[in-house]
Structure 1
Amino acid sequence: MILDFLQLFDANDFFRWFVDNANYWFVFVFMIIESSFIPFPSELVVPPAAYLAMQQGSSMNIYMVVVVATLGALVGALINYYLALWIGRPVVYAFANSRLGHILLLDSEKVNKAEQYFDKHGAISTFIGRLIPAVRQLISIPAGLARMNIGTFSIFTSLGALTWNVILALLGYLLFKFFQFDTKQELLDKVEEYNAYLTYFGYGIGIICVLFILYNVLKPHSKKN
């Protein structure tokens, strides 16, 4: 069945296919894909899985959907982390030590300082990044480039992914609790409608974080006597 997915290019087709075939294995696999370097919306996986888990006679449990989705997200994030560590990091250092890198005022020492800074302050960035659309998949890359402590990375990635998956599962629960759908298309339309609000919520978090960073960078520093 997983090969059938490779032939699906339309979100509507995938959604219908997923509703017909949803199980823990597919939740896990597609969340790995969503969290790795392949762009794929988790909103098409967790809400319908949670919705189906609430139905009588379902083979899935909504709590396990959240757990499995979070594990899948962690595995996908680790793929990005190690790709950045093994492939991206040597490329960055080679560029920093190149003639062009020196022209741009880069060198290995500055890159090393940047790594140390991210390793020290990157935990909260990793957590918050999991809640922001378009950043969710990318936040693992600077962590890998900076050789962020793998234990810290895994913990904060898991916490961020867990928070996001709880929100998505809650959406699936609310759809089951307060709506009745005669067709898969009606369910998809409602998921997409509420997903738009979640997207705005994620962008709002991103804007607040950027403003907070700018405030701390630009605010006048008091002089010590």
Structure 2
Amino acid sequence: MELLHEIIDFIVTHVDKFGYWGIIIMMFLESSFFPFPSEVVMPPAGYLASIGNMNLFLVILSGIIGSILGALFNYFLAVVFGRRLFQGGFRYLGLSDEKFKKAENFLIRHGNIGTFLGRLLPVIRQYISFPAGVIRMKLSSFCLFTGIGSGIWVFVLTMIGYFVGKNKELVKRYLSSATMITLVVALIILVIYVLYNRRIEKNV
């Protein structure tokens, strides 16, 4: 718990110092494969917006831009190197050959909705860009649905910081609740999408 307090204090200090560029850089790291959680970036930025040190709209926009840029970094890594990135498993990132193949098949089958949902899910959001790059998903669609999915998560995290402020206990509590709610919403969207597609296929 003490470590969480120290991390949040550090982020608040440095986001205030480096401003919107700091948010973009940190969210770039979070959205690529670097182990840097958005949960310790956007709530402190939201708090700074609540006390007038930053603009709320620009905070959210910076978070979305950083997320898209980080996702594009992974996307183009996969475009350039293809499956060679995953030969033997991307084990130090927790992405095995089998998991990558499942994600790839999911994207091939569901495309845009897969990218959108992937950005809402913990851990998966960092890796969903790799199979998108390997299958050469249309770049405009990739950016659009990455932006929408990331935007929802960035907005939720920012508003937690905006309303809860520097109360670390409440931040942690609301983060857990937000994660669970997001997982449920993503699951509902997926079920509706799958059922809708099955209905369309039956009518064809």
Is the structural similarity TM-score above 0.5? yes
Q: Which position in structure 1 is the counterpart of 2:118?
A: 129
Query: How high is the TM-score relative to the length of structure 1?
Result: 0.70
Q: Structure 1 residues 136-145 or 200-209, which shifts more?
A: 200-209
How many angstroms does 1:49 deviate by? 0.4
Structure 1 residues 20, 222: CA separation in 2 closer, same or farther (over 3 Å shift)? closer
Pair 1:89-2:83 in alignment = yes
1:146 & 1:68 partners in 2: Cα distance?
28
Q: 2:74 aligns with which of 77, 80, 83?
A: 80
2:33 & 2:12 partners in 1: Cα distance?
24
Q: Which position in structure 2 is the counterpart of 1:34?
A: 30
Query: How high is the TM-score relative to the length of structure 2?
Result: 0.76
How many angstroms does 1:43 deviate by? 1.4
2:137 & 2:83 partners in 1: Cα distance?
12
Pair 1:193-2:173 in alignment = yes
1:151-190 C-alpha deviation (Å, 9 max, x unpaired): 11111111211122111222122224xxxxxxx5xx2222
How many angstroms does 1:216 deviate by? 7.0
The residue type equivalent to 1:76 in the other structure is G
1:78 & 1:195 partners in 2: Cα distance?
26
The residue type equivalent to 1:62 in the other structure is L
1:117-162 C-alpha deviation (Å, 9 max, x unpaired): 9468411211122111122112111111110011111111112111
Pair 1:20-2:13 in alignment = yes
1:197 & 1:73 partners in 2: Cα distance?
22
Structure 1 residues 223, 35: CA separation in 2 closer, same or farther (over 3 Å shift)? closer
The residue type equivalent to 2:149 in the other structure is G
- Flag the structure with larger Rg: 1
Q: 2:139 aligns with which of 147, 150, 169?
A: 150
Structure 1 residues 43, 91: CA separation in 2 closer, same or farther (over 3 Å shift)? closer
2:140 & 2:187 partners in 1: Cα distance?
28
How many angstroms does 1:213 deviate by? 6.6
Greater helix fraction, Structure 1 or Structure 2? 2
The percentage of aligned residue pairs carrying the same residue is: 35
The unaligned stretches of length 5 or more in structure 1 are 1-9, 96-110, 177-183
2:50 & 2:187 partners in 1: Cα distance?
34
1:55-110 C-alpha deviation (Å, 9 max, x unpaired): 14x1x211100001100000100011111222233567x99xxxxxxxxxxxxxxx
Is contact 2:50-2:163 (8 Å) kept?
A: no
The unaligned stretches of length 5 or more in structure 2 are 89-100
* Number of equivalenced pairs: 184
RMSD of the alignment, in Å?
Answer: 3.0
